[in-house]
Structure 1
């Protein structure tokens, strides 16, 4: 077999594998962390005894150590993943030390001259030995072709997984090929249309699925996994994800009920979001699919100030403006929300939607209260002061705090003061307004402030371990 560089389709040069023509079933389970599980059921025609099966349309970013092939009366002896792809440059590299045919055409008279050359080097250019002379293959306007005697055995038109198996019988049978691959990931994005007057929110959720794995997945059943999977070789990223989760703007107020029938299902401590029907995930494609379209959920605008520790500020800080809602069933959503960015819009006087801010939420179980910061209120400020700090034991401290909340608006507002820095054994000693416990580390007070007025919140807490 002779190969003319640039003239033949490389894929057509390979012999077919053991795959039958009948299409199989393909499913993808895609995680947030550039990872997916591929499960491919194929009909294989397998002879008795030891043989090699080739799978040419697998991911180019497959993790070979995770490959599993399951078929009746078939045992795996050896498996190889060949990802050295057939390109003009690779053909020349593999030809070093071998002979090729150089065909040149004289642009003046059209005469064709063919010479036998030995490839000496391809470092920064192709160096040839033709007879007694050494020549560099030039990149100019002289038409030149290089003809090879064949394709090196380990060059492939596509990434190819080859599996040596030992079959106890001959015949066609279904086989399940499973493997993990990088290059597939997804993220969630939300569009929230907020109507402050009636306190209603329309929330639409979009999944953005990205495929850079080097292969297409036709007519696949796709499931998305919400949750952080711990990967042994990615410890630093895992730590960063957990840190982000601790700083999230979501308060888990208790999970109510189970997922709705058309919503996600759960496995282990993760939620699975199946995409409707089957879909084709093309190579180098970004695909968007709607997974949530809720109308008229209860919502409200709120002013917040978050204190992550006990501190004094010399100048007042602006309160955050947030849109708050719940994904509990009674509030109009009633389903889990995967992590993503919520972009909030409001309508102007002409009824046109205007973008007012965005923030990220973490994976949120059903029944949680969600607060999306959309900006800062320049006319609502908070100034914290540490009035006293005393030791309350060998490992405990007592903090007396004062929060001066000012409102320059022409209407009264309520500002939620969130105080962090408490340990599980933290407790309130005294307070000017009633607090509520958000979680093991945070307290909150609803502070009413009159129009063009101010309110001072005071409290004393004891914390430690």
Structure 2
């Protein structure tokens, strides 16, 4: 049985006017889409789809179509489970039915051309052979060649049938072997690209009160080629290993760098831990349309203890000719005592403070790493032009060293820490560039050797004032 489709030419493309059912298939049609679907979305442009459908299958072998799967499916990852079922063969058809594809499939075949006289409304039907359908449609009509174009005369194109290789939407067909006939639930699982998520945070910081309100959002982006309706959705914080040749970023391309994990977490948070990654279930099912971006709430807490930090870091023992601005950051803990108490996935955190009129003002943003519960979160917002540090090497001289040292030096350092603000501040000064067995001497403010490469001093500076930190550092290598 033939199927007739009517198409009308437009200024730039053929536009579908009236459709008809797809030509009869050997396979039995499945449902129009999943009865239930769940998504597990990873950071790496990949997602796990679990698609459940209730089907009635005959005993023995039969071919079943599953329309509505992702157009970006990785067919080699498809799995199917169902009581008494085994898979013999599977095919993924992703050549979609469009006006252009329909015309391209008709090259070499005859179609019907129906033209309508704009004045009288009379219609004329001709048969034509499609010679080409590249950047336009070339036809043989009778004994002449004609280009199908929009010349103001309404034109319809009639196709005798729909090619079997064209589908109205991506379709997976599976040959099943069933132990017995009857209705049963079948679950498809597969990996697909085109689904991504990211986390974004907004912190409203009250410096005087030493508190902030934190809101977090999960942003879902769907470019998989299919809409997922009422999907139970989870997002995964942490990266899983992917083989480069099967990378969603392209065959042969390396994986992108993985975000670091910040802090030494000491608490178990609300996310579900699985194989060293954390899974965040979204609070309710979501519908994510194809080519849609959707935001879903992740966290919303108020009155979290927070503080501002001024930080200066020197990579080596040098004299600066000009003072350098200190780095400004907002710090809080995501432990239970603060009211947060959960793992926070990596994302961009934006900080706002209220001005004198009470209006929120954006002061900066920072990339936050995956942070276990019980860790400190540091959001760097910029540099403080009114809080500066100027280091100076007062002297450096060789120090006595054991025979197994190549060098050992005693640096006498001076750090002029200035504050042009109307309130006192504390500036954290970090000196790097250390060697082995570092020793501090003659400090005006007591510091600590934080690790093998870092000394830390906390320098209080009065309002509109200056504090000069002096210290001798003996280090070697």
1:365 offset after TM fit, Å?
0.7
Is the 1:105–1:143 contact (alpha carbons within 8 Å) kept by the matching residues of 2?
Answer: yes
C-alpha separation between the residues in 2 aligned to 1:179 and 1:10? 31
C-alpha separation between the residues in 2 aligned to 1:3 and 1:114? 15
Corresponding residue of 1:412: 424
Corresponding residue of 1:429: 439
Is the 1:38–1:180 contact (alpha carbons within 8 Å) kept by the matching residues of 2?
Answer: yes
Question: How do residues 181-330 of structure 1 correspond to structure 2 at under 5 angstroms?
Answer: 181-233=192-244, 234=249, 238-242=255-259, 245=260, 250=262, 252=263, 254-259=264-269, 263-307=270-314, 312-330=319-337
Is the 1:449–1:455 contact (alpha carbons within 8 Å) kept by the matching residues of 2?
Answer: no
Instruction: Determine which of 318, 331, 335 is the counterpart of 2:338.
Output: 331
Question: How do residues 150-189 of structure 1 correspond to structure 2 at under 5 angstroms?
Answer: 150-189=161-200
C-alpha separation between the residues in 1 aligned to 2:117 and 2:327? 75
1:323 counterpart SS class? strand
1:91 offset after TM fit, Å?
0.7
**Structure 1 range deviating more: 407-416 or 94-103:** 407-416
Instruction: Determine which of 10, 19, 32 is the counterpart of 1:9.
Output: 19
Instruction: Determine which of 110, 130, 151 is the counterpart of 2:141.
Output: 130
Instruction: Determine which of 350, 355, 365 is the counterpart of 1:358.
Output: 365
C-alpha separation between the residues in 1 aligned to 2:405 and 2:129? 82
Corresponding residue of 2:13: none
C-alpha separation between the residues in 2 aligned to 1:205 and 1:328? 16
Aligned length: 452
Question: How do residues 42-81 of structure 1 correspond to structure 2 at under 5 angstroms?
Answer: 42-81=53-92
Is the 1:34–1:182 contact (alpha carbons within 8 Å) kept by the matching residues of 2?
Answer: yes
**Structure 1 range deviating more: 100-109 or 292-301:** 100-109
C-alpha separation between the residues in 1 aligned to 2:253 and 2:414? 38
C-alpha separation between the residues in 1 aligned to 2:397 and 2:256? 32
In structure 2, runs of 5+ residues without a counterpart are 8-15
Question: How do residues 36-115 of structure 1 correspond to structure 2 at under 5 angstroms?
Answer: 36-115=47-126
Against the structure 1 CA distance between its residues 30 and 307, is the aligned structure 2 distance closer, same or farther, given a 3 Å change threshold? farther
C-alpha separation between the residues in 2 aligned to 1:10 and 1:311? 79
Is the 2:416–2:466 contact (alpha carbons within 8 Å) kept by the matching residues of 1?
Answer: no
C-alpha separation between the residues in 2 aligned to 1:442 and 1:369? 19
In structure 1, runs of 5+ residues without a counterpart are none
1:97 offset after TM fit, Å?
0.9
C-alpha separation between the residues in 1 aligned to 2:407 and 2:240? 36
Is the 2:23–2:161 contact (alpha carbons within 8 Å) kept by the matching residues of 1?
Answer: no
Against the structure 1 CA distance between its residues 357 and 14, is the aligned structure 2 distance closer, same or farther, given a 3 Å change threshold? farther
Q: Does 1:348 align with 2:355?
A: yes
Against the structure 1 CA distance between its residues 365 and 83, is the aligned structure 2 distance closer, same or farther, given a 3 Å change threshold? same
1:205 offset after TM fit, Å?
1.1
**Structure 1 range deviating more: 153-162 or 404-413:** 404-413
**Structure 1 range deviating more: 397-406 or 179-188:** 397-406
Instruction: Determine which of 440, 444, 469 is the counterpart of 1:456.
Output: 469
Against the structure 1 CA distance between its residues 162 and 418, is the aligned structure 2 distance closer, same or farther, given a 3 Å change threshold? farther
1:349 offset after TM fit, Å?
2.7
Against the structure 1 CA distance between its residues 463 and 176, is the aligned structure 2 distance closer, same or farther, given a 3 Å change threshold? farther
2:18 counterpart SS class? coil
**Structure 1 range deviating more: 405-414 or 75-84:** 405-414
1:225 offset after TM fit, Å?
0.6
Against the structure 1 CA distance between its residues 324 and 80, is the aligned structure 2 distance closer, same or farther, given a 3 Å change threshold? same
Is the 1:304–1:320 contact (alpha carbons within 8 Å) kept by the matching residues of 2?
Answer: yes
Root-mean-square deviation (CA, aligned residues, Å) is 2.9
Is the 1:10–1:157 contact (alpha carbons within 8 Å) kept by the matching residues of 2?
Answer: no
1:11 offset after TM fit, Å?
6.5
Is the 1:63–1:181 contact (alpha carbons within 8 Å) kept by the matching residues of 2?
Answer: yes
